[in-house]
Amino acid sequence: MAIVAVSIAPLGTGSTSVSQYVAETQRVLKRFPQLKFRLDPMFTTIEGELPDIFAAISEMHEALVSMGAQRLSTVVKIDDRRDVNHSMEEKIAVVDAELHVERDAGSTQS
């Protein structure tokens, strides 16, 4: 299982607003029930098997082109860990646990 962060920026749309394009990418992802995903401020994080994720990204591209984007700039970051299966939530929980240990040790940062 992989965890992938993807950001697709439509260019040539005549506007600096991208919310309608981001919303469309989320609609596309809903058609992939085998994938888990969450929207973050700068990326969408997707969890699943890489072939399924790549298929979803391809469909996301096509959806944005059909909306009038003449060019797409896409950033993809892949965490393909093979020794253990860690979900998005588990990765965050590990860091949260580490922060809890620091707080217990007297750290003043929140």
Query: Structure pTM?
Result: 0.86
87 within domain boundaries: no
* Dihedral sign for Cα atoms in the order 96, 97, 98, 99: positive
33 within domain boundaries: yes
C-alpha distances out from residue 101 to 21, 104, 108, Å: 40, 5, 12
Task: Count the domains in the chain.
Answer: 1
CATH classification at residue 41: 3.30.70.930
Which pLDDT value is given to residue 106?
60
Q: What is the pLDDT along the chain (110 residues), one digit of tens a residue?
A: 999 999 999 998 888 899 999 999 999 999 999 999 999 999 999 999 999 999 999 999 999 999 999 999 999 999 999 898 889 999 999 999 989 866 666 655 55
End-to-end CA distance of the chain: 32
106 within domain boundaries: no
User: Could you tell me the residue range of the domain that residue 65 belongs to?
Assistant: 2-82
15 within domain boundaries: yes
